[in-house]
């Protein structure tokens, strides 16, 4: 148990201090590339020898970024620009900016013109990603990004480099999936706050290092006896759920996160890339296989809600906690369909509004406490 | 030659072009109802889905955006939005989408009805919201959705890969629609349809260009109404004829020194954004009061799809205001401002449209810097009247007027 | 058998309410002080009920705190969310209640309860002040009237005026415009009531309504809002004398349940 605490503390230190991580990488002579949400294949960065770091905003209120955005844009994207304008991203050698939602689209232009000192790498994923031509197109845009990355790194990547990167990332994804299950089964050892920092820290670490630590943690967790736990189990869904004050409320009410459908967490490591085909195609195919995500076009139309129900049932959760990012239209537009299906299945849910600006979680505390009582 | 006769006939019959244009839109809805009653499959399409494809296959199509605009102009927007909200759709979501989802779910709507869809045509060149909107309808009605994805552009020209990718989607769309219509895609018909669409676009752009005259023979707000034809019926021969008639009217007006803007044209502005449909009168009133005519609108010429071949057609469909990079967006607007000699820009921060308002603050700065004109913004909404404050709008317009006065004074003093 | 006294205290953002319950059945004392979390309100309201009932803290078997400030009361034995307490408290005072609409100072909530008064579902307002007591405060100030007079004034209204803005600031501007155009204050107030009813109604519809519907919280005392809400939802909405104390009553009841469980 002590070793478990030890490892988790290390993860927490890292997750709470991305700046320190960045500084360390720079002092080691490494170059770091910032990656916007969603579905940026970090393998491309890794293959060049550079370190990818995730850019998912930070706690606080937009100020300088208000010169670029009206008020009704999500705080995640606004705070990313805010960090850049405050010079917090100056040490990055590049930023990969995506366009998968109506905020990210114009945000890409805002970032490009506002932040002149950081090389801008544009990545517009296709939505018709599953057809062969979609996969080819994805591979083509990934290649273009790779070209830019290679130039920044002054390193020409070959297929072996890419294959190695995919291997490293597949292992990391696997370890995280394992961890989610184990943490869900051992709330006595891993609190919601701790669970988040284990997953979040990977955005600030060299992936192989994260995997090594996580694998050790997973083994220790799997050796723990099953303990009676009087709290409830939930599935969380939303864009991001890393706010410590919010997660403390889960812990206070003994609410265990048995599984998640969170973009920052499980959505980002559900699908592996194949080692059997040309790497750039394998990565494109990995994106093609992504789904059940409000931000992605669903040719089957009904997948997402079914996915949530499956998650609830397979993780034996009692209900769903929807952490709704304020101003997030894709999540908002998928909400009615999801609750209709949850209602039909008799699965209870609660919706909490979230954005990076909130300091006082009084309302969320009331909601979660009542939700726990209800169940 | 035949077309000129028709146009001349129309002028002889002295039916104003605007009535003709309105009839064309009415026909679109009427024909869709007729087709539905006959048991034909009808589709709903996003405004910038390549209409040429469905037209070639003889499929009747309706446009939810146009319907939502009409409903909100007739003051049914709030009711429909509230219905959608009671279904669980957040009020943060685009007002057009809320209205349309309410309608698709069966909310009663006397303001503008259209038949429920049997298939959906979605193109996200105008926004990502389109995708979710149409997926929701497909879910509600259990009907096929045909998706043409147009990736966002970071450069002024769409890349070769983009065109290849989109072309493949066009081919897929054609295949699926052949199955739905039970007809074969006729290349010759397609050529004819494209020719019509081009002619309509050219005639539309020509009509819009009359705003460059000083004084303008038209109130820019007229274009917001006329554009319904280029959204819903651009592939019809009749549409180009009606726009050509409109152009002839403008030509006459220029000669006679008349205008549909019946007030003082003391100042000329560009109106940036979609108009606030439920509040057109409120938008108009202070502009009228200060003698400010709108002589440039972005929303309208955004539908000028002109192309010579399939590749160019695809490139044209890549150029929606919400899918172009900021440089193209700025260039587009600045050239209209220059051509149409505006003194100021009134920017609508449309609560319903995140992609449109997304790089607006930076654009404002560029307008001020590059054009030297006054630029003022106001909060509003294309369809939800609850997001508009008349008092704020009036203040902002007054502010713009005062800035334009100062600039004029400085300019006069220089001269 | 000696009597069991339990205390329920609802520490809200703007007011503190306290109830002493005897044997889980009779309300022995009640008190309300218009000072909430972070003030002397909670202490004062506790002293008030103890004085009124001639009891001291030692006579109280269990103190349950609820409301926004529930975690700040040192002497409380436990705390529960105001959602569960409002549900239970409403049920106590109105047995047939199955839906509770509570419009408080800073939030609005709609609760669904089962036949035992247990909370089975709920929804709370999101994002902003519209549809809450705060909205009415702002408007009352603009109109230069007292909150308590809103009900009577709106009853005198003869004309429909719509205050449509979703945003409180925009709505304030609408009200000012109406005043500037010499609209009757009574008509404006009725429009404001409709605005609140519209927002809260939308919230209620999201969760589904089941009769009997009951309104609690400070704003329940304003019959103008209540009748606007009835019109909005097309349902009869009941309220009762101690509506403002619903949370405290529920807390005292849960306290009693704990005592019984522990013995």
User: CB neighbours (10 Å) of residue A116?
Assistant: 8
- By Cβ distance, the residue of B90, B131, B139 closest to A127 is B131
Residue B58 lies in a domain: yes
Residue B38 lies in a domain: yes
A338 chain-C contacts, CB cut-off 8 A: none
Judged by DSSP in three states, B240 sits in helix
Chains that touch C (3 or more CB pairs under 8 A): A, B
Residue B42 lies in a domain: yes
- Res. A8: pLDDT tops 70: yes
- By Cβ distance, the residue of C166, C177, C206 closest to B386 is C166
Residue B6 token pair? 């028709």
Judged by DSSP in three states, C46 sits in helix
Say what percent of chain A tops pLDDT 90: 94
Contact predicate B223/B300, CB 8 Å: yes
Mean pLDDT for all residues in chain A = 96
Judged by DSSP in three states, C214 sits in strand
pLDDT the model gives residue C116 = 86
Residue B333 lies in a domain: no
pLDDT the model gives residue B4 = 54
C205 chain-B contacts, CB cut-off 8 A: 86
C164 chain-B contacts, CB cut-off 8 A: 78, 385-386
- CATH number, domain with residue B120: 3.40.50.11890
Please give the order of strands across the beta sheet that includes B344-350. B292-297, B267-272, B344-350, B374-380
Chains that touch B (3 or more CB pairs under 8 A): A, C
**A39 or C113: whose pLDDT is higher?**
A39
Tens of pLDDT, residues A336-348: 999 999 999 999 9
Residues of A contacting chain C (CB within 8 angstroms) = 324, 326, 348, 350-351, 353, 362-363, 365-367, 369-370, 373-374
How sure is the predictor about C126, in pLDDT bands with cuts at 50, 70 and 90? low
- By Cβ distance, the residue of A326, A348, A362 closest to C127 is A326
* Any A CB within 8 A of C81 CB: yes
Q: How far apart are the CA of A330 and the nearest CA of chain B, in angstroms?
A: 7
Residue A103 token pair? 């905020």
Residue A52 token pair? 């990818």
Q: By C-alpha distance, which of C177, C146, C150 is closest to C161? A: C177
Mean pLDDT of all residues in B351-362: 95
pLDDT the model gives residue B2 = 45
With an 8 Å Cβ cutoff, are C126 and A374 in contact? no
Q: By C-alpha distance, which of C19, C75, C77, C29 is closest to C51? A: C29
Q: Is B225 left (phi over 0), alpha (psi -120 to 50) or beta?
A: alpha
Give the residue from chain B lying closest to C125, CA to CA. Answer: B90
Q: How far apart are the CA of C146 and the nearest CA of chain A, in angstroms?
A: 28
pLDDT the model gives residue B1 = 42
Q: Would you say the C-alpha torsion B100, B101, B104, B110 has a positive or negative sign?
A: negative
Residue B148 lies in a domain: yes
Q: Report how far residue B13's alpha carbon sits from residue A374's, in angstroms, rounded to the nearest whole number.
A: 72
Q: Report how far residue A246's alpha carbon sits from residue A142's, in angstroms, rounded to the nearest whole number.
A: 36
ipTM of the complex: 0.96
Environment class of A344 (CB within 10 Å of its CB; exposed 0-12, middle 13-18, buried 19+)? exposed
Q: How far apart are the CA of B198 and the nearest CA of chain A, in angstroms?
A: 27
With an 8 Å Cβ cutoff, are C198 and B391 in contact? no
Q: Report how far residue A243's alpha carbon sits from residue A246's, in angstroms, rounded to the nearest whole number.
A: 5
Q: Report how far residue B134's alpha carbon sits from residue B137's, in angstroms, rounded to the nearest whole number.
A: 5
- By Cβ distance, the residue of B78, B85, B88 closest to C164 is B78
Give the residue from chain B lying closest to C204, CA to CA. Answer: B86
Tens of pLDDT, residues A57-71: 999 988 899 899 998
- Res. B3: pLDDT tops 80: no
With an 8 Å Cβ cutoff, are A370 and C122 in contact? yes
Tens of pLDDT, residues B149-161: 999 999 998 999 9
Domains and CATH numbers, chain C: 1-94+241-263 (3.30.420.40), 96-239 (3.30.420.40)
C123 chain-A contacts, CB cut-off 8 A: 351
User: CB neighbours (10 Å) of residue C197?
Assistant: 25
pLDDT the model gives residue B6 = 56
**Long-range CB contacts for residues B104-110, cutoff 8 Å, separation at least 24:** B104/B136, B104/B137, B104/B140, B104/B141, B105/B140, B107/B79, B107/B80, B107/B83, B109/B71, B109/B76, B109/B80, B110/B76
Q: Which of A246-255, A336-345, B308-317 has the lowest mean pLDDT?
A: B308-317
Mean pLDDT of all residues in A318-332: 96
Torsion angle in degrees (nearest 10) through CA of A200, A204, A206, A211: -10
Q: Which residues pair with A353 in a beta bridge?
A: A324
Note the residue count of chain A: 375
| Helix or strand (DSSP H, E) at B331 | helix B326-339
Tens of pLDDT, residues A69-82: 998 999 999 999 99
- By Cβ distance, the residue of C80, C119, C127 closest to A353 is C127
- Beta strands (DSSP E) in B6-52 are 42-45
- Res. A188: pLDDT tops 80: yes
pLDDT the model gives residue B161 = 94
Which range marks the domain in which residue B166 is found?
Answer: 23-188
Contact predicate B330/B366, CB 8 Å: yes
Residue B270 lies in a domain: no
Tens of pLDDT, residues C195-253: 899 888 888 887 889 999 999 988 888 999 999 999 999 999 999 888 989 999 999 99
pLDDT the model gives residue B310 = 86
pLDDT the model gives residue B119 = 98
Three-state DSSP string of chain A: CHHHHHHHHHHHHHHCCHHHHHHHHHHCCCCEEEECCCCCCHHHHHHCCCEEEECCCCCCCCCHHHHCCCCCCCHHHHHHHHHHHCCCCCCCCEEEEECCCCCHHHHHHHHHHHCCCCCEEEECCCCCCCCHHHHHHHHHHHHHHHHHHHHHHCCCCCHHHHHHHHHHHHHHHHHHHHHHHHHHHCCCCCCHHHHHHHHHHHHHCCHHHHHHHHHHHHHHHHCCCCCCCCCEEEEEEECCCCCHHHHHHHHHCCEEEEEEEECCCHHHCCCCCCCCCCHHHHHHHHHHHCCCCCCCCCCCCCHHHHHHHHHHHHCCCCEEEEEEECCCHHHHHHHHHHHHHHHHHCCEEEEEEECCCCCCCHHHHHHHHHHHHHC
Radius of gyration of chain B (CA): 21
C213-248 as b/e: b if 16+ CB within 10 A: bbbbbbbbbbbbbbbbbbebbebebbbeebbbbbbb
* Any B CB within 8 A of C170 CB: yes
Q: Would you say the C-alpha torsion B23, B28, B32, B38 has a positive or negative sign?
A: positive
Q: How far apart are the CA of B321 and the nearest CA of chain A, in angstroms?
A: 11
- Res. B171: pLDDT tops 80: yes
Tens of pLDDT, residues B101-143: 999 999 999 999 999 999 999 999 999 999 999 999 999 999 9
B278 chain-C contacts, CB cut-off 8 A: none
Residue B383 lies in a domain: no
Mean pLDDT of all residues in A38-48: 98
Q: Report how far residue A311's alpha carbon sits from residue A302's, in angstroms, rounded to the nearest whole number.
A: 15
| Helix or strand (DSSP H, E) at C119 | strand C119-124
Tens of pLDDT, residues B46-72: 999 999 999 999 999 999 999 999 999
Three-state DSSP string of B368-383: HHHHCCEEEEEEECCC
Contact predicate B60/B31, CB 8 Å: yes
Environment class of C74 (CB within 10 Å of its CB; exposed 0-12, middle 13-18, buried 19+)? exposed
Q: How far apart are the CA of C165 and the nearest CA of chain B, in angstroms?
A: 4
With an 8 Å Cβ cutoff, are B88 and C177 in contact? no
Q: By C-alpha distance, which of B105, B58, B64, B114 is closest to B84? A: B105
Q: Would you say the C-alpha torsion B246, B250, B253, B255 has a positive or negative sign?
A: negative
- Total structural domains within chain B: 1
A363 chain-C contacts, CB cut-off 8 A: 107, 124
Q: How far apart are the CA of C82 and the nearest CA of chain A, in angstroms?
A: 7
Give the residue from chain B lying closest to C167, CA to CA. Answer: B387
pLDDT the model gives residue A1 = 84
Q: Which residues pair with C60 in a beta bridge?
A: C5
**How many angstroms separate the Cα of C34 from the Cα of each of C39, C48, C217?**
10, 13, 13
Residue B334 lies in a domain: no
Mean pLDDT of all residues in A233-242: 98
* Any C CB within 8 A of B392 CB: yes
Tens of pLDDT, residues B84-99: 998 999 999 999 999 9
């Amino acid at each position: 148990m002590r070793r478990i605490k030890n490892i988790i503390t290390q993860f927490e230190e890292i997750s709470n201090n991305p700046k320190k991580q960045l500084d360390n990488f720079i002092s080691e002579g490494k170059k770091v590339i910032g990656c916007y949400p969603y579905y940026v294949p970090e393998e491309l960065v890794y293959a060049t020898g550079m370190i990818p770091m995730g850019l998912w905003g930070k706690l606080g209120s937009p100020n300088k970024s208000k010169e670029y955005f009206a008020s009704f844009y999500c705080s995640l994207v606004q705070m990313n620009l805010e960090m850049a304008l405050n010079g917090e991203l100056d040490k990055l050698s590049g930023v990969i900016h995506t366009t998968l939602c109506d905020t990210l689209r114009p945000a890409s232009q805002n970032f490009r013109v506002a932040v002149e000192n950081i090389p801008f790498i544009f990545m517009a994923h296709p939505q018709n990603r599953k057809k062969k031509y979609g996969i080819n197109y994805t591979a083509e845009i990934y290649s273009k990004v790779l070209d830019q990355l290679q130039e920044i790194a002054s390193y020409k990547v070959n297929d072996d480099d890419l294959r190695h990167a995919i291997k490293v990332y597949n292992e990391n994804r696997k370890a995280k999936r394992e961890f989610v299950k184990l943490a869900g089964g051992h709330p006595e050892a891993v609190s919601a706050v701790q669970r988040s920092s284990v997953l979040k820290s990977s955005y600030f670490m060299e992936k192989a290092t994260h995997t090594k630590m996580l694998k050790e943690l997973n083994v220790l967790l799997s050796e723990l006896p099953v303990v009676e736990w009087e709290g409830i189990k939930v599935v969380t869904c939303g864009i991001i759920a890393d706010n410590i004050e919010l997660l403390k409320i889960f812990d206070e009410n003994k609410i265990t996160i048995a599984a998640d459908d969170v973009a920052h967490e499980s959505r980002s490591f559900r699908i592996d890339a194949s080692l059997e085909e040309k790497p750039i195609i394998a990565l494109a195919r990995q994106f093609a296989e992504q789904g059940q995500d409000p931000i992605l076009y669903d040719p089957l139309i009904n997948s997402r809600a079914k996915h949530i129900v499956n998650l609830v049932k397979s993780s034996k959760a009692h209900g769903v906690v929807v952490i709704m990012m304020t101003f997030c239209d894709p999540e908002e537009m998928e909400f009615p369909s999801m609750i209709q299906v949850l209602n039909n299945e008799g699965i209870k849910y609660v919706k909490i509004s979230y954005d990076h600006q909130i300091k006082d979680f009084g309302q969320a505390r009331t909601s979660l406490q009542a939700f726990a009582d209800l169940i | 030659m035949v077309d000129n006769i028709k146009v001349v006939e129309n002028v002889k019959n002295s039916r104003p072009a605007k009535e003709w244009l309105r009839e064309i839109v009415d026909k679109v809805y009427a024909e869709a109802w007729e087709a539905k009653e006959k048991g034909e499959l009808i589709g709903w399409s996003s405004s910038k889905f390549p209409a040429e494809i469905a037209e070639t296959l003889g499929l009747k199509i309706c446009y939810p955006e146009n319907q939502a605009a009409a409903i909100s102009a007739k003051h049914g927007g709030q009711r429909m939005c509230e219905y959608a909200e009671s279904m669980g759709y957040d009020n943060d979501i685009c007002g057009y989408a809320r209205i349309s989802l309410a309608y698709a779910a069966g909310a009663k709507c006397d303001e503008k009805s259209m038949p429920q869809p049997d298939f959906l045509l979605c193109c996200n060149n105008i926004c990502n919201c389109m995708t979710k909107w149409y997926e929701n309808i497909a879910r509600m009605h259990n009907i096929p959705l045909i998706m043409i994805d147009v990736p966002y552009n970071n450069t002024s020209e769409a890349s070769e890969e983009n065109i290849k990718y989109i072309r493949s989607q066009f081919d897929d769309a054609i295949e699926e629609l052949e199955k739905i219509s039970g007809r074969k895609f006729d290349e010759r018909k397609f050529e004819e349809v494209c020719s019509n669409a081009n002619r309509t676009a050219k005639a539309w752009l020509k009509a819009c260009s009359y705003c460059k005259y000083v004084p303008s023979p038209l109130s820019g707000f007229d274009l917001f109404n006329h554009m319904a034809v280029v959204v819903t019926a651009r592939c019809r021969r009749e549409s180009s004829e009606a726009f050509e008639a409109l152009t002839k009217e403008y030509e006459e007006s220029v000669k006679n020194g008349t205008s549909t803007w019946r007030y003082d044209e003391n100042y000329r502005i560009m109106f940036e954004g979609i108009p606030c449909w439920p509040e057109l009168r409120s938008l108009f009133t202070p502009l009228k009061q200060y003698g400010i005519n709108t002589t440039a609108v972005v929303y309208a010429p955004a539908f000028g799809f002109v192309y010579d071949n399939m590749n160019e057609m695809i490139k044209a469909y890549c150029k929606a205001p919400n899918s172009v990079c900021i440089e193209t967006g700025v260039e587009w607007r600045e050239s209209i401002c220059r051509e149409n000699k505006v003194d100021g820009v009134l920017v609508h921060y449309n609560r319903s449209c995140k992609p449109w308002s997304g790089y607006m603050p930076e654009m404002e700065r560029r307008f001020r810097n590059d054009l030297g004109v006054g630029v003022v913004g106001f909060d509003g909404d294309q369809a939800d009247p609850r997001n508009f404050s008349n008092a704020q709008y009036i203040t902002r317009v007054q502010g713009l007027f005062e800035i334009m006065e100062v600039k004029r004074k400085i300019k006069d003093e220089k001269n | 058998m000696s009597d069991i006294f339990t205390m329920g205290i609802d520490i809200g953002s703007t007011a503190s309410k306290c109830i002493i319950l005897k044997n889980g059945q009779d309300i022995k004392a009640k008190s309300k002080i218009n000072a909430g979390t972070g003030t002397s309100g909670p202490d004062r309201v506790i002293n008030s009920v103890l004085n009124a009932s001639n009891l001291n803290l030692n006579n109280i078997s269990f103190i349950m705190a609820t409301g926004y400030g529930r975690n700040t009361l040192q002497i409380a034995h436990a705390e529960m969310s105001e959602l569960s307490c409002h549900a239970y408290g409403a049920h106590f005072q109105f047995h047939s209640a199955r839906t509770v609409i509570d419009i408080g100072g800073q939030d609005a909530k709609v609760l669904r309860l089962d036949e035992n008064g247990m909370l089975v579902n709920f929804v709370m307002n999101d994002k902003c002040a519209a549809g809450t007591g705060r909205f009415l405060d702002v408007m009352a100030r603009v109109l230069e009237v007292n909150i308590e007079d809103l009900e009577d004034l709106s009853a005198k209204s003869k004309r429909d005026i719509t205050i449509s803005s979703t945003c409180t600031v925009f709505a304030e501007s609408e009200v000012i415009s109406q005043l500037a155009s010499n609209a009757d204050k009574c008509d404006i107030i009725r429009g404001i009531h409709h605005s609140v009813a519209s927002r809260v109604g939308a919230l209620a519809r999201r969760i589904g309504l089941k009769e009997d519907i009951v309104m609690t919280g400070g704003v329940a005392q304003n019959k103008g809002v209540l009748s606007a809400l009835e019109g909005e939802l097309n349902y009869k909405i009941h309220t009762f004398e101690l509506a403002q104390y619903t949370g405290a009553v529920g807390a005292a009841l849960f306290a009693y349940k704990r005592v019984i469980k522990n013995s």
